[in-house]
Structure 1
Amino acid sequence: MGSFSIWHWLIVLLIVVMVFGTKKLKNMGSDLGGAVKGFKDGMKEGGTKPEAESPVAGQVTSSAQAEKTTIDVEAKTKS
């Protein structure tokens, strides 16, 4: 009784189809396939290095400019 036979799996499949319906199962399958494909594409793109790195909008690029805009948050509590 440790393993299920093919008949057990067919009955389980029949119950799942009756509960969810074929349309819902088809949509879930296509969503899952799209997610796996997107994950694989992301893994491929993640391995390549960008040719030219551009600074992100709002990112400080020079240390002199960073020192001018640095705010000491704890300045009010210091004595």
Structure 2
Amino acid sequence: MGGASIWHWIVVGVIIMLLFGRGKVSDLMGDVAKGIKAFKKGMADDDPVPDTRA
């Protein structure tokens, strides 16, 4: 039971490209990037906690 080598990931990538095609993979990566940007924007837009000290 060894770890995943670089050749393992290359083979997995080629199989994914063959199954889904280049267009779907790039669309998926674009959607992931949009999701990450929206998450970061949402985190930055959070209202700060008001200071309740008198």
With the length of structure 1 as denominator, give the TM-score of the two structures: 0.56
User: Is the radius of gyration larger for structure 1 or structure 2?
Assistant: 1
Using the TM superposition, give the Cα deviation of residue 20 of structure 1 relative to its aligned residue in structure 2, in angstroms: 0.7
Q: Distance in 1 between matches of 2:18 and 2:32?
A: 20
Measure how far apart 1:48 and its partner are: 4.3
Q: Post-superposition shift, 1:22?
A: 0.6
Residue 6 of structure 2: aligned partner:
6
Superposition RMSD on alpha carbons, in Å?
1.5
Q: How does 1:10-29 map to 2 (within 5 A)?
A: 10-29=10-29
CA distance in 2, matches of 1:32, 1:24: 12
Q: Give the unaligned 5+ runs of structure 2.
A: 50-54
- Distance in structure 1 (CA, Å) of the matches to 2:29 and 2:9: 18
Per-residue Cα deviation, 1:6-50 (whole angstroms, up to 9, x for no partner) = 11111111001000111000000001100100010011001347x
Return the structure number with greater relative CO, CA threshold 8 A, min gap 6.
2
More helix by percentage = 2
- Once the two structures are aligned, what percentage of the paired residues are identical? 37
Give 2:26's aligned amino acid: K
Give the TM-score normalised by structure 2: 0.78
Structure 1: runs of 5+ lacking an equivalent: 50-79
Single out whichever of 3-12 and 40-49 deviates more from structure 2: 40-49
